[in-house]
Chain A
Amino acid sequence: MGALSSIFAIIVGLLFGFIILLLSNPSQAVGGFLTILTGALTHGMKEIGQVLYFATPIILTGLSVGFAFKTGLFNIGASGQFIVGAFAAIYVGLNFKFLGSANWVFALLAAFLAGALWALIPGLLKALCNVHEVISSIMMNYIGMYLVNFLVAGNSKLFDQLRNQSITVPKNAQIPKMGMDKFFPNSSVNGGFFIAVLFVIIIYIILNKTTFGFELKAVGFNKDASKYAGINEKRSIILSMAIAGALSGLGGGLLYLAGSGKHIEVVDVLAAEGFAGISVALVGLSNPIGILFAALFIAYITEGGFFLQLFDFVPEIIDIIIAVIIYFSAFALIIQSIIRYKRNSKRGGKV
């Protein structure tokens, strides 16, 4: 039933996009729209690989935001956690060459831990001082961005001055292809996608099958009843933020170790993947499986959107479409409660 409202939001978003296409260039509108819907599928396996590649980091930031949300916390800080994780990953990659072919494993682990630490600060502030996590997370986003820029630019081992970005990590630090290059030749996708899916499963299990997940959700639903049940609310908040941060950090590691030509650019721009994660979590209704599909979908239409340029449209139209989808998925929550209300009215339950 929740899926219904998300699907509704997606359909509305796409229709809105179509209307914009019609308004900007009527003769090309249908073609453009079809491209959005099918572009990624009709340009060969490479494109499909690219979809998976783009989905990978936002699956993780989506999980990050969604997981925190289950405990009643808004992790707006996914962006900061993401870039801090990315930094930790490339730092290990470029400095700990002695780790040999297992370098990437340790790099990802570093990304994981760095993200956790970065989210721990808002978590502690919330649990111990009741500072709203949205405010402290936004602060941490900016601190993270500036700090990482500072650390990259100031370190000759990490900084490529000519291109104003981090140096390419050596082969050993890059995530192995794990067969993805056979399926999707020439694409940037690698084993990172499998890692992302693995974490979808892990988070699903944690939330639905463990006592820890039981406690986290209880705290998110009803703080007082959780206290009455003996659940330590402070502990739940802190651990939940730490895990959420770890997930975003890992996302950063997966993207920047993909060997795809992506480097940490020393610019004052917050990592977009962090905010995409919020969209993914909303459309996926904070459900791990939903998040997986939401991330794939957004990556899919983004990929299709690149081909809009063939039809004389600007690819920013895709950004508009995605924005509308997000807007309507917030509506999706309202629609969900309307559907629930109507259903309850019919069933005679307490409204």
Chain B
Amino acid sequence: MDYIIEMLGITKEFPSIIANDDITFQVKQGEIHALLGENGAGKSTLMSVLFGLYRPEKGVIRIKGKEVHIKSPLDANAYGIGMVHQHFKLVHNFTVLQNIILGVETVKGGLLRMEEARKKVLYLSEQYHLKVDPDAIISDISVGMQQRVEILKMLYRDNEILILDEPTAVLTPQEIDELMNIMRELVKEGKSIVFITHKLAEIKAVADRCTVLRRGKMIGVVDVIDTDVETMSEMMVGRKVNLSIEKQDSQPKETILQVNHLFVKSRREGNQKHVVKDVSFEVRRGEIVCIAGIEGNGQTDLVQAITGLVQSESGEILLNGQNVIKNSIRYRSTHGMSHIPEDRHRYGLVLDYDLAENLVLQEYFTPQFQQGGFLKEKEIQKHAEKLIEDYDIRSSQGPATSARSMSGGNQQKAIIAREVSRTPDVLIAVQPTRGLDVGAIELIHKQLIEERDKGNAILLISLELDEVMNLSDRILVIYEGSIVADLNPKEVTIRDLGLYMAGSKRGDNYQELSK
């Protein structure tokens, strides 16, 4: 067997946990090898060992049969290993070209020589079909292009072994397809790819073999073509996971949230465009309404307008019959609206606070948690302990854990715990399962359906078409700031949904008004 990478008997320990326990991981030359596991299973740790960020307590790494000692990412690079992290390491105000050459610049006589670099970059870009604009500034380009820049960084350094950490987490469905093609091209050219993920469908689409980790141990290696998703998820989680969502038909009752003729202006300087144009819809008790659309078509602004983070220009937002369009965020959140935000680090958590403080972020001012302006610390602790238990939030020190040190998945669970446990009339969930593994996704889907069956209303924004189709009772498609279709998921195919989302089709009541 010609392995290009062998990690044998790798053990990596930290003070309170064995992150990698005697793991054997072997990648063949020219294959796409998926590394599958739940959050916290040890996948990122293992790859960090390979990339030189950590040193293992035990174990041996071999590259092309020769034993090596990788002491830092520079060593890893020298051995031809490159890594694209989930959170890109790009300098936002530099150009694409500058980012690619950063650290390995050609310098002659003390001055940068960009022409050679540019030529090489353009060549690589063509050869691997990685479309980029070398002079574009990172902050202006799409996430998909940013990722291609990260991949070009590796190719520029002649990396042979490419590690991609959760690459599809930030991409739209189209961009995901493009990435899959890029991966196949790269492998055709002789590169080997390790692809860390917990998305089973993607593994099936593009991987040759898959190593499954669970709680630090290697569970097994499978040939993807012979293994179904149910088996892989069972290996990953340790029990049978229900991948399809079981739900009864919804019995919607009265309307809880009504949006009428909402207009929201763009916040970009000098831009007078409307990002939300004349949007009207309602969400009733006992139903899950999903707003589907390609990222950037106004969903974010729509949700921010409904929750109050952004000012609406005109229209009505009726919560339980009351127009709250001029009311504060706190008013809306204390009168029946809960919000699971899209950006958990920016809006959802105060990372420098601990878990208990974050769990009480929306209610610290209520009589339950404060008296006369003084916080009731015992109550806050009790509340945190209960939520940690009920929602299976994993943390190293319980309520006192710093939010910053928690894994992305558990941070998301904490936010969901906080918002769902407040028993809102309407729960607005934006990308609630982003970055979560199969086990956690199952849990959250179950919770959302429970909420709906209890008689609450849920407004879901999601980019995962499977989630959209399986979870919602009604689908509203948003395109360029307007609602263009109101669909029944039982009566529409994913392909048609994609057409609606791309603006190629419009619902019966949503024909474009002639100007």
Contact = CB atoms under 8 A, between A and B. Distances in A.
Contact of B309 (A218, A228, A346, A349): A228
B346 A344 contact: no
Given A210-B374, A224-B346, A346-B14, A218 B353 contact: yes
Nearest to B411: A350
A221 B350 contact: yes
A303 B54 CA distance: 49
A130 to B, nearest CB: 14
Contacts of A346: 14-15
Interface of B: 12, 14-17, 19, 45, 54, 307, 309, 328-331, 333-334, 339, 341, 346-353, 357, 361-362, 364-365, 370, 373-375, 377, 396, 404-407
Given A210-B375, A212-B373, A214-B364, A221 B351 contact: yes
Contacts of A349: 396, 405
Contact of A211 (B15, B331, B353, B375): B375
Given A232-B328, A350-B407, 16 more contacts: A209-B375, A209-B377, A210-B375, A221-B351, A221-B352, A222-B350, A224-B346, A227-B329, A228-B339, A228-B347, A230-B330, A230-B333, A347-B396, A348-B14, A348-B54, A349-B396
A226 B365 CA distance: 13
A129 interface: no
B351 A209 contact: no
A217 B358 CA distance: 12
A156 interface: no
A347 B333 contact: no
B350 A348 contact: no
B64 to A, nearest CB: 29
Contact of B361 (A224, A229, A348): A229
A186 interface: no
A346 B48 CA distance: 13
A225 B405 contact: no
A218 B365 CA distance: 13
Q: Which 6 A-B pairs have the closest CB atoms?
A: A230-B330, A348-B14, A349-B405, A221-B352, A228-B347, A222-B350
B495 to A, nearest CB: 36
A135 B149 CA distance: 39
Most chain A beta carbons < 10 A, residue from B328, B362, B375: B375
A345 interface: yes
A221 B407 CA distance: 19
Contact of A344 (B334, B361, B364, B405): B405
Nearest to A351: B53
Contacts of A347: 14-16, 396
A225 B404 contact: no
Contacts of B54: 345, 348
Given A222-B351, A226-B350, A214 B375 contact: yes
Interface string A64-81: 000000000000000000
16 contacts: A209-B374, A211-B365, A221-B351, A222-B350, A228-B329, A228-B339, A228-B348, A229-B361, A230-B328, A230-B329, A344-B405, A346-B14, A347-B396, A348-B12, A348-B17, A348-B19
